[in-house]
Protein backbone atom coordinates (compact mmCIF):
# COMPACT_ATOMS: atom_id res chain seq x y z
CA UNK A 1 0.00 0.00 0.00
CA UNK A 2 1.33 3.42 -0.94
CA UNK A 3 0.56 6.07 1.67
CA UNK A 4 -0.72 9.39 0.30
CA UNK A 5 -2.01 12.56 1.90
CA UNK A 6 -4.83 14.21 -0.04
CA UNK A 7 -6.01 17.74 0.81
CA UNK A 8 -9.52 19.08 0.37
CA UNK A 9 -11.83 21.89 1.44
CA UNK A 10 -15.10 21.24 3.33
CA UNK A 11 -17.63 21.53 0.48
CA UNK A 12 -20.26 19.22 -1.02
CA UNK A 13 -18.09 18.49 -4.04
CA UNK A 14 -15.49 16.78 -1.86
CA UNK A 15 -17.86 13.81 -2.23
CA UNK A 16 -15.70 11.80 -4.70
CA UNK A 17 -12.84 11.77 -2.20
CA UNK A 18 -15.02 10.40 0.59
CA UNK A 19 -16.67 7.91 -1.79
CA UNK A 20 -13.25 6.65 -2.91
CA UNK A 21 -12.31 6.11 0.72
CA UNK A 22 -15.59 4.64 1.99
CA UNK A 23 -16.19 2.39 -1.05
CA UNK A 24 -12.62 1.14 -0.98
CA UNK A 25 -11.55 2.49 -4.37
CA UNK A 26 -8.29 3.90 -2.97
CA UNK A 27 -7.46 0.57 -1.35
CA UNK A 28 -8.46 -1.25 -4.54
CA UNK A 29 -5.77 0.69 -6.39
CA UNK A 30 -3.19 -0.12 -3.74
CA UNK A 31 -3.36 3.24 -1.97
CA UNK A 32 -3.62 4.12 1.69
CA UNK A 33 -4.99 7.66 1.42
CA UNK A 34 -5.51 9.98 4.36
CA UNK A 35 -7.84 12.90 3.69
CA UNK A 36 -6.69 16.21 5.11
CA UNK A 37 -9.37 18.89 5.53
CA UNK A 38 -7.80 22.30 4.95
CA UNK A 39 -9.13 25.76 5.69
CA UNK A 40 -8.39 27.83 2.57
CA UNK A 41 -7.46 27.50 -1.09
CA UNK A 42 -4.29 29.47 -0.39
CA UNK A 43 -3.37 27.05 2.38
CA UNK A 44 -4.12 24.04 0.22
CA UNK A 45 -1.92 25.38 -2.57
CA UNK A 46 0.94 26.25 -0.22
CA UNK A 47 0.93 22.82 1.41
CA UNK A 48 0.83 21.12 -1.98
CA UNK A 49 3.67 23.30 -3.27
CA UNK A 50 5.76 22.68 -0.14
CA UNK A 51 5.22 18.91 -0.33
CA UNK A 52 3.17 18.72 2.89
CA UNK A 53 0.36 17.21 0.79
CA UNK A 54 0.85 14.71 -2.06
CA UNK A 55 -2.26 15.79 -3.94
CA UNK A 56 -5.21 18.11 -3.47
CA UNK A 57 -8.71 18.92 -4.61
CA UNK A 58 -8.16 22.30 -6.29
CA UNK A 59 -10.26 24.92 -8.01
CA UNK A 60 -9.98 24.13 -11.70
CA UNK A 61 -8.22 27.41 -12.67
CA UNK A 62 -5.51 26.99 -10.01
CA UNK A 63 -3.10 24.79 -12.04
CA UNK A 64 -3.19 27.40 -14.82
CA UNK A 65 -2.52 30.28 -12.42
CA UNK A 66 0.41 28.30 -11.02
CA UNK A 67 1.77 27.63 -14.51
CA UNK A 68 1.66 31.35 -15.33
CA UNK A 69 3.13 32.25 -11.92
CA UNK A 70 0.32 34.73 -11.31
CA UNK A 71 -0.51 33.00 -8.03
CA UNK A 72 2.82 34.50 -6.85
CA UNK A 73 4.09 31.09 -5.87
CA UNK A 74 4.72 29.78 -9.36
CA UNK A 75 5.19 26.13 -8.39
CA UNK A 76 3.88 24.25 -11.46
CA UNK A 77 0.77 22.19 -10.76
CA UNK A 78 -0.96 19.82 -13.17
CA UNK A 79 -4.22 17.93 -13.29
CA UNK A 80 -5.26 14.69 -14.97
CA UNK A 81 -8.77 14.56 -13.53
CA UNK A 82 -11.86 16.72 -13.26
CA UNK A 83 -13.41 15.85 -9.90
CA UNK A 84 -16.64 17.79 -10.41
CA UNK A 85 -18.50 20.09 -12.77
CA UNK A 86 -21.15 22.73 -11.89
CA UNK A 87 -22.29 23.18 -8.29
CA UNK A 88 -22.06 26.90 -7.47
CA UNK A 89 -24.89 29.33 -7.00
CA UNK A 90 -25.31 33.07 -6.82
CA UNK A 91 -27.22 33.94 -3.67
CA UNK A 92 -28.41 37.40 -2.68
CA UNK A 93 -29.66 38.98 0.54
CA UNK A 94 -33.39 38.96 1.22
CA UNK A 95 -33.44 42.74 0.82
CA UNK A 96 -31.81 42.65 -2.59
CA UNK A 97 -33.96 39.71 -3.66
CA UNK A 98 -37.08 41.71 -2.84
CA UNK A 99 -35.83 44.60 -4.98
CA UNK A 100 -35.15 42.20 -7.88
CA UNK A 101 -38.86 41.38 -8.06
CA UNK A 102 -38.59 37.60 -8.36
CA UNK A 103 -36.82 37.10 -11.70
CA UNK A 104 -36.76 33.70 -13.41
CA UNK A 105 -33.68 31.71 -12.26
CA UNK A 106 -31.81 32.14 -15.52
CA UNK A 107 -28.94 34.51 -16.37
CA UNK A 108 -30.76 36.91 -18.72
CA UNK A 109 -33.77 37.64 -16.52
CA UNK A 110 -31.73 37.77 -13.29
CA UNK A 111 -29.06 39.95 -14.93
CA UNK A 112 -31.61 42.41 -16.30
CA UNK A 113 -33.24 42.67 -12.87
CA UNK A 114 -29.90 43.32 -11.16
CA UNK A 115 -28.93 45.94 -13.73
CA UNK A 116 -32.21 47.76 -13.10
CA UNK A 117 -31.56 47.83 -9.34
CA UNK A 118 -27.97 48.99 -9.80
CA UNK A 119 -29.11 51.85 -12.03
CA UNK A 120 -31.77 52.86 -9.54
CA UNK A 121 -29.18 52.70 -6.73
CA UNK A 122 -26.83 54.94 -8.68
CA UNK A 123 -29.58 57.48 -9.42
CA UNK A 124 -30.41 57.56 -5.70
CA UNK A 125 -26.72 57.95 -4.76
CA UNK A 126 -26.54 54.66 -2.86
CA UNK A 127 -23.21 52.85 -2.40
CA UNK A 128 -22.15 50.09 -4.77
CA UNK A 129 -23.48 46.58 -4.23
CA UNK A 130 -20.87 44.16 -2.92
CA UNK A 131 -20.63 40.60 -4.24
CA UNK A 132 -18.37 37.91 -2.84
CA UNK A 133 -16.63 34.98 -4.43
CA UNK A 134 -14.12 32.55 -2.93
CA UNK A 135 -10.68 33.01 -4.49
CA UNK A 136 -9.04 35.12 -7.20
CA UNK A 137 -8.45 32.04 -9.39
CA UNK A 138 -11.83 30.41 -9.02
CA UNK A 139 -14.71 29.42 -11.26
CA UNK A 140 -16.90 31.41 -8.86
CA UNK A 141 -14.98 34.59 -9.64
CA UNK A 142 -14.97 34.08 -13.40
CA UNK A 143 -18.59 32.91 -13.69
CA UNK A 144 -19.78 35.83 -11.57
CA UNK A 145 -17.88 38.31 -13.75
CA UNK A 146 -18.99 36.62 -16.94
CA UNK A 147 -22.63 36.87 -15.93
CA UNK A 148 -22.30 40.51 -14.77
CA UNK A 149 -20.56 41.52 -18.01
CA UNK A 150 -23.13 39.73 -20.15
CA UNK A 151 -25.83 41.61 -18.21
CA UNK A 152 -24.26 44.97 -19.01
CA UNK A 153 -22.86 45.41 -15.49
CA UNK A 154 -19.17 46.32 -15.18
CA UNK A 155 -17.73 44.02 -12.47
CA UNK A 156 -15.04 46.59 -11.62
CA UNK A 157 -17.00 49.86 -11.77
CA UNK A 158 -20.67 49.06 -11.13
CA UNK A 159 -20.24 46.64 -8.21
CA UNK A 160 -17.51 45.74 -5.75
CA UNK A 161 -16.12 42.21 -5.73
CA UNK A 162 -14.56 40.77 -2.59
CA UNK A 163 -13.39 37.36 -1.38
CA UNK A 164 -15.15 35.73 1.57
CA UNK A 165 -14.40 32.12 2.60
CA UNK A 166 -17.52 29.91 2.24
CA UNK A 167 -18.11 29.31 5.98
CA UNK A 168 -18.13 33.08 6.61
CA UNK A 169 -20.50 33.99 3.76
CA UNK A 170 -23.68 33.65 5.81
CA UNK A 171 -22.31 35.95 8.53
CA UNK A 172 -21.22 38.52 5.94
CA UNK A 173 -24.65 38.41 4.29
CA UNK A 174 -26.49 38.64 7.61
CA UNK A 175 -24.41 41.64 8.70
CA UNK A 176 -25.01 43.39 5.39
CA UNK A 177 -21.30 43.46 4.60
CA UNK A 178 -22.10 41.85 1.23
CA UNK A 179 -25.25 41.86 -0.93
CA UNK A 180 -24.66 38.50 -2.52
CA UNK A 181 -22.16 35.77 -3.20
CA UNK A 182 -21.18 33.11 -5.68
CA UNK A 183 -20.13 30.10 -3.61
CA UNK A 184 -20.21 26.32 -3.91
CA UNK A 185 -22.89 24.07 -2.47
CA UNK A 186 -24.23 23.75 0.16
CA UNK A 187 -23.82 27.46 1.01
CA UNK A 188 -26.65 28.64 -1.26
CA UNK A 189 -29.04 26.21 0.41
CA UNK A 190 -27.68 27.20 3.80
CA UNK A 191 -28.57 30.88 3.25
CA UNK A 192 -32.17 29.91 2.49
CA UNK A 193 -32.27 27.45 5.37
CA UNK A 194 -31.09 30.15 7.79
CA UNK A 195 -33.39 32.71 6.21
CA UNK A 196 -30.63 35.22 5.39
CA UNK A 197 -30.76 35.07 1.59
CA UNK A 198 -32.24 33.61 -1.58
CA UNK A 199 -30.65 31.74 -4.45
CA UNK A 200 -30.85 33.77 -7.62
CA UNK A 201 -28.98 31.59 -10.12
CA UNK A 202 -27.11 28.31 -10.31
CA UNK A 203 -23.90 28.63 -12.28
CA UNK A 204 -24.72 25.72 -14.60
CA UNK A 205 -27.10 28.18 -16.28
CA UNK A 206 -24.13 30.49 -16.99
CA UNK A 207 -21.67 27.95 -18.36
CA UNK A 208 -23.10 24.42 -18.39
CA UNK A 209 -20.70 21.68 -17.34
CA UNK A 210 -17.92 24.07 -16.38
CA UNK A 211 -15.04 22.23 -14.69
CA UNK A 212 -15.27 23.03 -10.98
CA UNK A 213 -12.72 21.03 -8.94
CA UNK A 214 -9.72 19.12 -10.24
CA UNK A 215 -7.22 16.76 -8.69
CA UNK A 216 -3.95 18.71 -8.52
CA UNK A 217 -0.40 17.52 -7.99
CA UNK A 218 2.84 19.43 -8.46
CA UNK A 219 4.65 18.69 -11.69
CA UNK A 220 7.69 17.50 -9.77
CA UNK A 221 5.57 15.11 -7.66
CA UNK A 222 3.92 13.73 -10.83
CA UNK A 223 7.33 13.10 -12.34
CA UNK A 224 8.68 11.40 -9.23
CA UNK A 225 5.57 9.31 -8.50
CA UNK A 226 3.96 8.33 -11.81
CA UNK A 227 2.43 5.09 -10.54
CA UNK A 228 0.75 6.37 -7.37
CA UNK A 229 -0.51 9.30 -9.46
CA UNK A 230 -2.18 7.00 -11.99
CA UNK A 231 -3.60 4.84 -9.19
CA UNK A 232 -5.02 7.92 -7.46
CA UNK A 233 -6.65 9.20 -10.65
CA UNK A 234 -8.03 5.72 -11.40
CA UNK A 235 -9.54 5.36 -7.91
CA UNK A 236 -11.21 8.76 -8.21
CA UNK A 237 -12.53 7.91 -11.69
CA UNK A 238 -14.20 4.90 -10.09
CA UNK A 239 -15.62 7.13 -7.35
CA UNK A 240 -16.93 9.58 -9.95
CA UNK A 241 -18.66 6.81 -11.86
CA UNK A 242 -20.14 5.45 -8.66
CA UNK A 243 -21.62 8.88 -7.93
CA UNK A 244 -23.47 8.78 -11.27
CA UNK A 245 -25.19 5.46 -10.52
CA UNK A 246 -28.88 5.98 -9.70
CA UNK A 247 -29.51 6.28 -5.98
CA UNK A 248 -25.90 6.59 -4.86
CA UNK A 249 -25.99 10.34 -4.25
CA UNK A 250 -28.13 9.78 -1.16
CA UNK A 251 -25.41 7.52 0.27
CA UNK A 252 -22.74 10.05 -0.67
CA UNK A 253 -24.67 12.73 1.25
CA UNK A 254 -24.76 10.38 4.23
CA UNK A 255 -20.97 9.89 4.01
CA UNK A 256 -20.33 13.64 4.15
CA UNK A 257 -22.78 14.07 7.01
CA UNK A 258 -21.18 11.24 8.99
CA UNK A 259 -17.70 12.64 8.35
CA UNK A 260 -19.00 15.93 9.87
CA UNK A 261 -17.20 17.66 7.04
CA UNK A 262 -19.31 20.76 6.51
CA UNK A 263 -20.49 23.21 9.15
CA UNK A 264 -23.88 23.65 7.49
CA UNK A 265 -27.24 22.01 8.32
CA UNK A 266 -27.35 18.32 7.33
CA UNK A 267 -30.38 18.75 5.09
CA UNK A 268 -28.47 21.33 3.02
CA UNK A 269 -25.56 18.92 2.48
CA UNK A 270 -27.94 16.14 1.45
CA UNK A 271 -29.96 18.43 -0.86
CA UNK A 272 -26.80 19.73 -2.53
CA UNK A 273 -25.82 16.26 -3.75
CA UNK A 274 -29.24 15.12 -4.98
CA UNK A 275 -29.48 14.33 -8.67
CA UNK A 276 -33.20 13.59 -8.86
CA UNK A 277 -34.22 17.20 -9.38
CA UNK A 278 -33.92 19.06 -12.63
CA UNK A 279 -34.92 22.52 -11.41
CA UNK A 280 -32.71 25.38 -12.56
CA UNK A 281 -31.61 26.34 -9.05
CA UNK A 282 -30.20 22.98 -7.96
CA UNK A 283 -26.41 22.62 -8.25
CA UNK A 284 -26.54 19.90 -10.95
CA UNK A 285 -23.20 18.40 -9.97
CA UNK A 286 -21.60 16.17 -12.57
CA UNK A 287 -19.00 13.84 -11.08
CA UNK A 288 -18.31 11.03 -13.45
CA UNK A 289 -20.65 10.82 -16.41
CA UNK A 290 -18.76 9.55 -19.44
CA UNK A 291 -15.76 11.60 -20.41
CA UNK A 292 -16.71 14.48 -18.07
CA UNK A 293 -13.95 13.23 -15.74
CA UNK A 294 -11.33 14.17 -18.30
CA UNK A 295 -9.67 17.58 -17.97
CA UNK A 296 -11.14 19.52 -20.91
CA UNK A 297 -8.83 21.85 -22.75
CA UNK A 298 -11.85 24.00 -23.64
CA UNK A 299 -12.31 24.74 -19.94
CA UNK A 300 -8.63 25.61 -19.56
CA UNK A 301 -8.76 28.00 -22.51
CA UNK A 302 -11.87 29.65 -21.11
CA UNK A 303 -10.18 30.17 -17.71
CA UNK A 304 -7.09 31.68 -19.36
CA UNK A 305 -9.36 34.05 -21.27
CA UNK A 306 -11.09 35.11 -18.03
CA UNK A 307 -7.69 35.72 -16.38
CA UNK A 308 -6.85 38.03 -19.25
CA UNK A 309 -10.24 39.76 -19.23
CA UNK A 310 -10.10 40.61 -15.51
CA UNK A 311 -6.50 41.78 -15.62
CA UNK A 312 -4.93 38.97 -13.60
CA UNK A 313 -2.67 38.22 -16.50
CA UNK A 314 -1.39 41.11 -18.58
CA UNK A 315 1.48 39.32 -20.29
CA UNK A 316 1.30 37.74 -23.71
CA UNK A 317 1.16 34.02 -23.07
CA UNK A 318 1.35 30.85 -25.12
CA UNK A 319 -2.19 29.64 -24.44
CA UNK A 320 -1.77 26.17 -25.90
CA UNK A 321 1.46 25.64 -23.99
CA UNK A 322 -0.24 26.55 -20.71
CA UNK A 323 -3.22 24.33 -21.48
CA UNK A 324 -1.17 21.28 -22.44
CA UNK A 325 1.22 21.64 -19.50
CA UNK A 326 -1.56 22.00 -16.91
CA UNK A 327 -4.43 19.79 -18.14
CA UNK A 328 -2.88 16.36 -18.77
CA UNK A 329 -4.98 14.29 -21.16
CA UNK A 330 -2.34 11.58 -21.64
CA UNK A 331 -2.14 10.80 -17.93
CA UNK A 332 -5.92 10.77 -17.73
CA UNK A 333 -6.12 8.26 -20.59
CA UNK A 334 -3.63 5.94 -18.92
CA UNK A 335 -5.47 6.07 -15.60
CA UNK A 336 -8.82 5.58 -17.30
CA UNK A 337 -7.64 2.18 -18.54
CA UNK A 338 -6.74 1.21 -14.97
CA UNK A 339 -10.15 2.17 -13.59
CA UNK A 340 -12.20 -0.97 -13.86
CA UNK A 341 -14.20 -1.82 -10.82
CA UNK A 342 -17.35 0.21 -11.45
CA UNK A 343 -20.10 -0.48 -13.91
CA UNK A 344 -20.00 2.18 -16.59
CA UNK A 345 -23.00 4.47 -16.15
CA UNK A 346 -25.71 4.47 -18.78
CA UNK A 347 -25.25 8.16 -19.55
CA UNK A 348 -22.24 7.79 -21.87
CA UNK B 1 13.37 53.68 6.80
CA UNK B 2 11.06 53.62 9.84
CA UNK B 3 9.59 50.66 11.63
CA UNK B 4 7.68 47.90 9.92
CA UNK B 5 3.90 48.23 10.20
CA UNK B 6 2.50 44.86 11.23
CA UNK B 7 -1.12 43.68 11.31
CA UNK B 8 -1.91 40.51 13.26
CA UNK B 9 -4.95 38.40 12.39
CA UNK B 10 -5.83 35.64 14.83
CA UNK B 11 -8.89 34.21 16.54
CA UNK B 12 -6.71 32.88 19.35
CA UNK B 13 -6.47 35.75 21.81
CA UNK B 14 -3.64 34.10 23.75
CA UNK B 15 -1.40 33.83 20.73
CA UNK B 16 -2.44 37.29 19.58
CA UNK B 17 -1.21 38.81 22.85
CA UNK B 18 2.03 36.81 22.77
CA UNK B 19 2.74 37.84 19.20
CA UNK B 20 1.88 41.47 19.89
CA UNK B 21 4.36 41.62 22.79
CA UNK B 22 7.11 39.88 20.83
CA UNK B 23 6.70 42.15 17.81
CA UNK B 24 6.72 45.28 19.93
CA UNK B 25 9.79 44.12 21.87
CA UNK B 26 11.58 43.49 18.58
CA UNK B 27 10.92 47.09 17.60
CA UNK B 28 8.15 46.48 15.07
CA UNK B 29 4.96 48.50 15.12
CA UNK B 30 1.75 46.51 15.55
CA UNK B 31 -0.84 48.75 13.91
CA UNK B 32 -3.76 46.35 14.13
CA UNK B 33 -4.96 43.21 15.87
CA UNK B 34 -7.91 41.67 14.09
CA UNK B 35 -10.29 38.77 14.36
CA UNK B 36 -10.38 36.77 11.09
CA UNK B 37 -14.14 37.30 10.88
CA UNK B 38 -13.65 41.09 10.84
CA UNK B 39 -13.83 42.98 7.57
CA UNK B 40 -10.17 42.41 6.66
CA UNK B 41 -10.32 44.32 3.40
CA UNK B 42 -11.55 47.50 5.07
CA UNK B 43 -9.03 47.04 7.89
CA UNK B 44 -6.07 46.65 5.54
CA UNK B 45 -7.22 49.76 3.64
CA UNK B 46 -7.38 51.74 6.86
CA UNK B 47 -4.24 50.44 8.58
CA UNK B 48 -1.88 50.29 5.59
CA UNK B 49 0.35 47.51 6.93
CA UNK B 50 3.66 46.45 5.41
CA UNK B 51 3.00 42.92 6.51
CA UNK B 52 0.00 40.88 7.65
CA UNK B 53 0.61 37.78 9.78
CA UNK B 54 -2.05 35.07 9.98
CA UNK B 55 -2.35 31.41 10.95
CA UNK B 56 -1.54 29.14 7.98
CA UNK B 57 -4.82 27.28 8.56
CA UNK B 58 -7.15 30.25 8.74
CA UNK B 59 -9.99 30.37 6.17
CA UNK B 60 -9.62 34.15 5.86
CA UNK B 61 -6.30 33.71 4.12
CA UNK B 62 -8.23 33.57 0.86
CA UNK B 63 -9.51 37.08 1.52
CA UNK B 64 -5.98 38.40 2.12
CA UNK B 65 -4.83 36.51 -0.94
CA UNK B 66 -7.31 38.47 -3.05
CA UNK B 67 -5.92 41.84 -1.96
CA UNK B 68 -2.80 41.26 -4.01
CA UNK B 69 -4.93 40.72 -7.07
CA UNK B 70 -7.02 43.86 -6.93
CA UNK B 71 -5.19 46.77 -8.44
CA UNK B 72 -7.88 49.17 -9.56
CA UNK B 73 -9.23 50.64 -6.36
CA UNK B 74 -6.63 49.28 -3.97
CA UNK B 75 -3.03 49.92 -4.92
CA UNK B 76 -1.68 47.79 -2.10
CA UNK B 77 -0.36 44.62 -3.61
CA UNK B 78 0.28 42.05 -0.98
CA UNK B 79 2.23 38.95 -1.79
CA UNK B 80 2.69 35.68 -0.10
CA UNK B 81 6.01 35.51 1.69
CA UNK B 82 8.98 37.26 0.11
CA UNK B 83 8.05 36.89 -3.56
CA UNK B 84 8.87 33.22 -4.10
CA UNK B 85 12.40 33.95 -3.01
CA UNK B 86 13.08 31.68 -0.11
CA UNK B 87 11.43 28.24 -0.08
CA UNK B 88 13.19 27.32 3.14
CA UNK B 89 11.67 30.23 5.05
CA UNK B 90 8.27 29.36 3.59
CA UNK B 91 8.54 25.77 4.76
CA UNK B 92 9.75 26.74 8.22
CA UNK B 93 6.99 29.30 8.57
CA UNK B 94 4.34 26.84 7.44
CA UNK B 95 5.61 24.15 9.79
CA UNK B 96 5.31 26.67 12.63
CA UNK B 97 1.79 27.59 11.47
CA UNK B 98 2.35 31.16 10.31
CA UNK B 99 1.75 32.71 6.92
CA UNK B 100 2.74 36.21 5.93
CA UNK B 101 1.32 38.63 3.43
CA UNK B 102 3.78 41.28 2.45
CA UNK B 103 3.50 44.49 0.49
CA UNK B 104 5.12 44.14 -2.89
CA UNK B 105 8.57 45.70 -3.11
CA UNK B 106 9.35 45.56 0.59
CA UNK B 107 13.00 44.66 0.95
CA UNK B 108 13.87 41.18 2.29
CA UNK B 109 16.22 42.85 4.78
CA UNK B 110 13.29 44.52 6.55
CA UNK B 111 11.07 41.52 6.21
CA UNK B 112 13.28 38.75 7.54
CA UNK B 113 13.38 39.84 11.20
CA UNK B 114 9.58 40.14 11.37
CA UNK B 115 9.08 36.67 9.91
CA UNK B 116 11.72 35.22 12.25
CA UNK B 117 9.99 36.63 15.34
CA UNK B 118 6.65 35.32 14.08
CA UNK B 119 8.02 31.83 13.45
CA UNK B 120 9.61 31.71 16.88
CA UNK B 121 6.44 32.89 18.66
CA UNK B 122 4.12 30.59 16.72
CA UNK B 123 6.42 27.69 17.63
CA UNK B 124 6.52 28.68 21.29
CA UNK B 125 2.78 28.90 21.34
CA UNK B 126 2.37 25.57 19.61
CA UNK B 127 4.61 23.73 22.04
CA UNK B 128 2.99 25.53 24.98
CA UNK B 129 -0.40 24.32 23.84
CA UNK B 130 0.86 20.79 23.20
CA UNK B 131 2.43 20.69 26.65
CA UNK B 132 -0.78 21.94 28.19
CA UNK B 133 -2.79 19.29 26.32
CA UNK B 134 -0.47 16.48 27.32
CA UNK B 135 -0.47 17.59 30.98
CA UNK B 136 -4.25 17.72 30.96
CA UNK B 137 -4.32 14.35 29.28
CA UNK B 138 -1.94 12.82 31.80
CA UNK B 139 -4.06 14.10 34.68
CA UNK B 140 -7.20 12.74 33.05
CA UNK B 141 -5.47 9.44 32.32
CA UNK B 142 -4.33 9.03 35.90
CA UNK B 143 -7.83 9.70 37.21
CA UNK B 144 -9.46 7.27 34.75
CA UNK B 145 -6.88 4.54 35.35
CA UNK B 146 -7.57 4.82 39.08
CA UNK B 147 -11.32 4.51 38.50
CA UNK B 148 -10.91 1.53 36.15
CA UNK B 149 -8.60 -0.15 38.62
CA UNK B 150 -11.22 0.30 41.34
CA UNK B 151 -13.89 -1.23 39.10
CA UNK B 152 -11.76 -4.27 38.35
CA UNK B 153 -10.89 -4.71 42.02
CA UNK B 154 -14.57 -4.59 43.00
CA UNK B 155 -16.04 -6.67 40.18
CA UNK B 156 -13.27 -9.25 39.76
CA UNK B 157 -12.02 -9.32 43.31
CA UNK B 158 -8.49 -8.47 42.24
CA UNK B 159 -5.89 -6.68 44.35
CA UNK B 160 -4.52 -3.35 43.18
CA UNK B 161 -1.45 -4.74 41.44
CA UNK B 162 -3.38 -7.48 39.63
CA UNK B 163 -6.01 -4.93 38.49
CA UNK B 164 -3.31 -2.65 37.12
CA UNK B 165 -1.61 -5.58 35.37
CA UNK B 166 -4.94 -6.64 33.79
CA UNK B 167 -5.50 -3.12 32.48
CA UNK B 168 -1.99 -2.93 31.09
CA UNK B 169 -2.38 -6.28 29.29
CA UNK B 170 -5.72 -5.21 27.74
CA UNK B 171 -4.16 -1.98 26.50
CA UNK B 172 -1.18 -3.83 25.02
CA UNK B 173 -3.34 -6.46 23.30
CA UNK B 174 -5.40 -3.78 21.63
CA UNK B 175 -2.41 -1.52 20.98
CA UNK B 176 -4.03 1.49 22.65
CA UNK B 177 -3.06 3.73 25.54
CA UNK B 178 -3.71 2.82 29.15
CA UNK B 179 -5.95 5.87 29.59
CA UNK B 180 -8.07 4.86 26.62
CA UNK B 181 -8.65 1.29 27.78
CA UNK B 182 -9.52 2.68 31.22
CA UNK B 183 -12.09 5.01 29.71
CA UNK B 184 -13.70 2.26 27.60
CA UNK B 185 -13.91 0.07 30.67
CA UNK B 186 -15.57 2.85 32.66
CA UNK B 187 -17.99 3.51 29.79
CA UNK B 188 -18.83 -0.20 29.56
CA UNK B 189 -19.36 -0.39 33.33
CA UNK B 190 -21.67 2.62 33.16
CA UNK B 191 -23.79 0.77 30.60
CA UNK B 192 -24.11 -2.37 32.69
- For the stretch B104-136, pLDDT in tens is 777 777 888 888 899 888 888 888 778 777 777
Q: Which residues of B touch A42 (CB under 8 A)?
A: 61-62, 64-65, 80, 99
Report the C-alpha gap between A181 and A88 in whole angstroms: 10
Report the C-alpha gap between A114 and A148 in whole angstroms: 9
Please report the pLDDT score of residue A348 as a whole number: 38
pLDDT bin (cut points 50, 70, 90) of residue B168 is: confident
The answer on A188 and A99 residing in a single domain is yes
Residue A230 lies in a domain: yes
Q: What is the DSSP letter of B152?
A: H
The answer on B97 and B9 residing in a single domain is yes
Smallest Cβ–Cβ distance between B66 and the set A69, A136, A177 belongs to A136
Residue A147 lies in a domain: yes
Tell me which residue of A77, A5, A66 sits closest to A222, measured CA to CA.
A77
| Residue B74 pLDDT greater than 50, yes or no | no
Q: Would you call A168 an interface residue with chain B, using a CB distance cutoff of 8 Å? A: yes
Please report the pLDDT score of residue B78 as a whole number: 57
The answer on B151 and B117 residing in a single domain is no
Mean pLDDT, chain B, rounded, equals 82
Selected residue of A10, A40, A175 to mutate for chain B interface (largest B Cβ count, 10 A): A40
Residue A42 lies in a domain: yes
**End-to-end CA distance of chain A, in Å?**
32
The answer on A229 and A124 residing in a single domain is no
> CB B99 to CB A46 under 8 A?
yes
The answer on A124 and A37 residing in a single domain is no
The answer on B178 and B127 residing in a single domain is no
The answer on B127 and B140 residing in a single domain is no
Backbone angles phi, psi at B6, to 5 degrees: -110, 135
> CB B90 to CB A46 under 8 A?
yes
Please report the pLDDT score of residue A345 as a whole number: 47
Report the C-alpha gap between A241 and B157 in whole angstroms: 58
**pLDDT digits 0-9 by tens, B43-61:** 888 888 888 999 989 999 9
Q: What is the CATH number of the domain that holds B120?
A: 3.40.190
Which H helix or E strand runs over B5?
strand B5-9
The answer on A156 and A81 residing in a single domain is no
Show Cβ contacts of residue B157 under 8 Å, excluding neighbours closer than 6 positions. none
Domain span including residue A187:
88-205
Selected residue of A9, A38, A43, A127 to mutate for chain B interface (largest B Cβ count, 10 A): A43
Q: Would you call B57 an interface residue with chain A, using a CB distance cutoff of 8 Å? A: yes
Please report the pLDDT score of residue A161 as a whole number: 95
Chain A residue closest in CA terms to B38: A172
Chain A residue closest in CA terms to B84: A73
Selected residue of B35, B65, B87, B101 to mutate for chain A interface (largest A Cβ count, 10 A): B65
Domain stop point among B90, B114, B131: B131
Where helices occur in chain B by DSSP H, the ranges are: 13-25, 40-47, 61-67, 87-96, 108-156, 160-174, 178-191
Please report the pLDDT score of residue B93 as a whole number: 84
Please report the pLDDT score of residue B140 as a whole number: 82
Count of domains for chain B: 2
Residue A63 lies in a domain: yes
The answer on B142 and B120 residing in a single domain is no
Please report the pLDDT score of residue B73 as a whole number: 44
Please report the pLDDT score of residue A213 as a whole number: 98
Report the C-alpha gap between B156 and B149 in whole angstroms: 10
Please report the pLDDT score of residue A50 as a whole number: 86
pLDDT bin (cut points 50, 70, 90) of residue B79 is: low
Which residues 172-231 of A have a C-beta within 8 angstroms of B?
Answer: 177
The answer on A219 and A76 residing in a single domain is yes
| Residue B102 pLDDT greater than 90, yes or no | no
Of the spans A56-60, B162-166, B169-173, which averages the highest pLDDT? A56-60
Domain stop point among A205, A221, A256: A205
Smallest Cβ–Cβ distance between A40 and the set B41, B62, B72 belongs to B62
The answer on B84 and B117 residing in a single domain is yes
Domain stop point among B82, B98, B131: B131
Dihedral sign for Cα A9, A12, A15, A18, please.
Answer: positive
Q: What is the DSSP letter of B81?
A: T
- Position with higher pLDDT, B103 vs A326: A326
Please report the pLDDT score of residue A248 as a whole number: 95
Which H helix or E strand runs over B8?
strand B5-9
Tell me which residue of B59, B67, B100, B63 sits closest to B83, measured CA to CA.
B100
* pLDDT less than 50: residues of chain A: 344-348
Report the C-alpha gap between A224 and A227 in whole angstroms: 9
Yes or no: say if A241 and A286 are a contact pair by the CB < 8 Å rule. no
Yes or no: say if B65 and B79 are a contact pair by the CB < 8 Å rule. no
Chain B residue closest in CA terms to A176: B39
pLDDT bin (cut points 50, 70, 90) of residue B83 is: low
> CB B61 to CB A43 under 8 A?
yes
Domain span including residue B98:
5-131
Q: What is the CATH number of the domain that holds A106?
A: 3.40.190.10
Please report the pLDDT score of residue B189 as a whole number: 82
Instruction: Tell me whether residue B95 is exposed, middle or buried, using C-beta atoms within 10 angstroms of its C-beta: 0 to 12, 13 to 18, 19 or more.
Output: middle
Distance from CA of A70 to the nearest CA of B (A): 9
The answer on A219 and A167 residing in a single domain is no
Amino acid sequence: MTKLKLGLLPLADAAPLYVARECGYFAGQGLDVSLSVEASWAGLRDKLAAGMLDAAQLLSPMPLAAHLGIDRLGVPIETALTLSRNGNSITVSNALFARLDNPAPEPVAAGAALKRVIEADRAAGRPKRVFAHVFPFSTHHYLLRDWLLASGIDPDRDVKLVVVPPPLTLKALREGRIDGYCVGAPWGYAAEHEGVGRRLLATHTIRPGCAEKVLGVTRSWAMRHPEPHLALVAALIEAGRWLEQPGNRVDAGQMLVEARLIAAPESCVRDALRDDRDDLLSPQFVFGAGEMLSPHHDDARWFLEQMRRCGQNRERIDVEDAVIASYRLGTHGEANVMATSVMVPLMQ
Amino acid sequence: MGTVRVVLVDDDTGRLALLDRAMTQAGHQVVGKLDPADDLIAAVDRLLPDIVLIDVDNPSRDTLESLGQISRDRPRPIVLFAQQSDPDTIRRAMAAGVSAYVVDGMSPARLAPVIEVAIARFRDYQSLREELNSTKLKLADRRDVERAKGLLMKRKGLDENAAYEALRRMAMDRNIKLGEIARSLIAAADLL
